[in-house]
Amino acid sequence: MMMLTSLSSSLLSSSLSLTGPPPSNSNGYLSSSLPSPRRRLNPKPNHHHRNRHLSLPLLPGTSPTRSIHCSSSMPLEVSTSSAQLQDSLLYSSAFWVTQSIIALNADVVRDGSCYLYASVTAALSVTESEVEGHDFKIKLEEDSGGIPQNVIAKFPHIRDYKAFRVPSTVDAKSLVKCQLAVATFGSDGKCSYATGLQLPGVLDELFAYDGPLGAHYSEDAVTLYLWAPTAQAVCACVYKNVNSRDPMEVVQLKEVNGVWSVEGSKDWEGCYYVYEVSVYHPSTLHVEKCYANDPYARGLSPDSQRTLFVNLDSDSLKPEGWEKLADEKPIILSFSDISIYELHVRDFSANDHTVHPDFRGGYLAFTPEDSAGVLHLKKLSNAGITHVHLLPSFQFAGVDDVKENWKCVDSTVLEKLPPDSIEQQAQITLIQDDDGYNWGYNPVLWGVPKGSYASNPSGSCRTVEFRKMVQALNHIGLRVVLDVVYNHLHGNGPFDENSVLDKIVPGYYLRRNTDGFIEHSTCVNNTASEHYMVERLIIDDLLNWVGNYKVDGFRFDLMGHIMKSTMVKAKDAINRLTKERDGIDGLSVYIYGEGWDFGEVANNGRGINASQCNLGGTRIGSFNDRIRDAMLGGSPFGHPLQQGFVTGLMLQPNGHDHGGKDAEELMLSAAKDHIQVGMAANLRDYVLTNSDGKEVKGMEVLTYGGAPVAYALHPAETINYVSAHDNETLFDVVSMKTPVEISVDERCRLNHLATSVIAFSQGIPFFHAGDEMLRSKSLDRDSYNSGDWFNRLDFTYNSNNWGVGLPPKQKNEKHWPLIRPRLADPSFKPQKNHILAAINNFLDVLQIRYSSPLFRLMTANAIQERVRFHNTGPSWVPGVIVMSFEDGHRGVPGLTQLDPNYSFIVVIFNASPSEVSFASPVLRARTFQLHPYTGSYFLVQLAIRILLGQNTADLVFNGTAMSADEVVKNSSYETSTGCFTVPPMTTSVFVECR
């Protein structure tokens, strides 16, 4: 049996010409026409077929490659059809899982012989009697021991496959560089089955690597390291600057055990480079020359055409005081103290005329101290918001980094159009792929700040400005969360300009189905964190953002598509960072994400994934969709008129058929149970009385689909929210679901009621930017690419952006008949006084949350001991939730004392359209009064004004309620009866002072 190393490795290295990529006007890429949706489900496999071959000499005994017709719909099992046999290699249905085991689907393996074939030049073709064009043919024998358990744990979707043993004499490290196929033959000698191979299992066993990757800088050299074990050759094309047409150097990298490296000149720093990787690509069935950026890039040219040699440790890239920032960050004593404000970088300032025009829509807009947006953030920070969550700010596709290439609309023309006009969306969608707007969930390179948010996308400008943004936010008391998107990549294949990882190790970084085609359940091009080097890249990237940019937290997009083990390892790696050794307090970095369980990973289909139900005990947070849906009604994917607890279910019917009065009553009581579980941090073991009057645990309260409502074991594992960037804004949902005849004042009150439920819940509250300003997107349900027009934020508080035209047709047209009359009705639009009242009310609830540690309990046990719900059982007052917090007293046995000011707190949420009275024997004979709405905000402002010698008279209170909401002041408590009275659509907080 011939071994590849002895015959072909020298051929591979000597015959690959180091010519470099084409000139920069073509960038060495074929343009991609992939669209860039926020969520694109199940696109068809994209097979590129080109008759390209590397000019490698044929090894003795091989035959030229046959022409292969490309088909995306052939059956798994081949018959006698010659065309089908040829097409079979488009599939990769066999799995090389360890050095010694190849797994084949038991359903297609019949009695007969089985062989592994390899071709250095990708010349394999299948006939009825043989696989031709091979350099190596290896007999495989079935292993009666079956698939090893450790392999099944890693690849559970092939647990029922048969195992075939690879002879120990086979040089697997060399074979993985070839085109590979497995074929079975019947007793008649005819080929019954043939397929390509998936290699991640054997690559992980043979080439898992923990050494340096990317560009490393020393005093006199720059060294490149690239993990590419299947590559036949790698060279680096180095360019003097971003505009250089031809490379100044083309250097070949040398391989040691799958890692290619080269030591270059110190003069490379500040230059650009691109890798030329010669590698077999299963999507084309050819050895291709792929031109790719460095997966560990830390800088880029505009639009990711080349990687920048940038040393992030250089003092010239650090803003003044950068090294001291770890000591200046706002203090977080517990994750329970966190409140999150979700914000899009461009939304923040694109419409803010108090920001310098060159800074609008970018990182530097966060640095002025007196812009309208920054002043607004200061208010939020002073009131209690601790973290700003920034939507994706790494390098993503969909927005040109060069601002001069953007197209725009004339907003002065759009402003003159009717509020329900079709014209605004028509003009916006006409240029939506050529403007400066996109949410950014189209990852290209995870480790580099997005160029379009920098004042100059070339050079190291984006690094410096991102750091200045983090520093500025920290200095006004706000930590920074980066939205990361490790679950998918925007590009794939050898020619897509947005493809990086799939060019370097094809078929490894992207998760594939059992036929070998890329999974697309997340949107497009799912990644596979169950593979060792994918997991490593994710963890290294997180450490890059924490270490080099001092980011304070991460929100994981579609976290459920990432393995739980990856998330835990990432958290542990960050937690090990210390201020003394690394300049970072890793224990203060908070991690959370979307724990949805769907697609190929559902029910642990690819291993134990980071879904809601699997994260208990990790202290990793996940979004609680249960409380959102119970409050608003239905789900974002259901009927838009489905009502919930806050939007009028049963108590203010909107005309939608909910199934009759009995069904509505049942739905409302279930919604209340779901909300109460959520307000107790969605703890699995929290015991409460349900709507039937039974004592149950949170996990025993079920969703409408029968799944447990509660999944958390610790309050830090629950992110309570009612709206986010996805789907309609809170105000838009309220405006759609409530009856058309109610007033805008009532809708504003319900908006506030919803945010107050989130603010007063145990766990971590999360608010979408603008909820506090009644933000509207003109009822757009998916504004990822709807431009500045539909996504505008107005920090002058003059407009909430309601009624700026019918929302874009693609995602909203079927609901236009419901949307149009609402937008056309002027009574739906809030005025400035409504917006100002909403902001003040939002600040009030934040101040209350931070006025007492009882709102922010740090353990599940503390929540069980101190949090109670009172309006429970079948006789509950509909539309009302009553929650209390009890504290202990110093020197008194029982509960310890946490709050120096209040011994007991009662919060009543009245979502009904009428005033309600509620009496409880448990709450009788106490000395409750309305909360003074002072909290930490009052104390901080008082201290600041005293320090600056400013007037403090307007801050002093005399023990009466200071809320901006006049209605809530009509709330009352009667000591003798224990009866609370609360106005309609109002949240009232009562405290018993010590």
List residues with catalytic annotation. Answer: 557, 594
What distances in angstroms separate CA 265 from CA 297, 309, 845, one per listed residue?
Answer: 18, 11, 58
| CA 417 – CA 633 distance, rounded (Å) | 32
C-alpha span between 962 and 955 (Å, rounded): 9
DSSP letter string over 843-872? HHHHHHHTT-GGGS--SHHHHHHHEEE-S-
CB-based burial label for 694 (10 Å; 0-12, 13-18, 19+): exposed
Question: What does the block give as tokens for 886?
Answer: 């009890």
DSSP 129-157: S-EES-SEEEEEEE-TT-S-HHHHHH-GG
Structure tokens at 558: 């579609």
Nearest to 564 by CA among 604, 505, 527: 604
Task: Give CA–CA dist 482/554, Å, rounded.
Answer: 5
The amino acid at 502 = D
Determine how many CB atoms are found less than 10 A away from the CB of residue 368: 18
Give the position of tokens 């448990």. Answer: 922
Contact between residue 195 and residue 90 where contact means Cβ atoms under 8 Å apart: no
Determine the Cα–Cα distance for residues 226 and 218; give it in Å rounded to an integer.
Answer: 18
Tally of CA atoms within 13 A in the half-sphere of 306 that contains its CB:
32
CB 628 within 8 A of CB 582: no
Cβ distance 710 to 717 under 8 Å?
no
Q: In angstroms, how far is CA 55 from the centroid of its own chain?
A: 43
Q: Which of 809, 796, 723 is nearest to 766 (CA)?
A: 723
What Å distances lie between residue 86 and 71, 175, 313, 598, 971, CA to CA? 10, 21, 53, 34, 78
The CA distance from 715 to 859, in Å, is 6
Residue 502 to residue 747: CA distance in whole angstroms: 49
Residues ≥6 apart with Cβ < 8 Å to 956: none
- Residue 257 backbone class (left: φ over 0; alpha: ψ -120 to 50; beta: rest): left
Bridge partners, residue 81, by sequence: none
Three state DSSP letters for 219-254: CCEEEEEEECCCEEEEEEEEECCCCCCCCCEEEECE
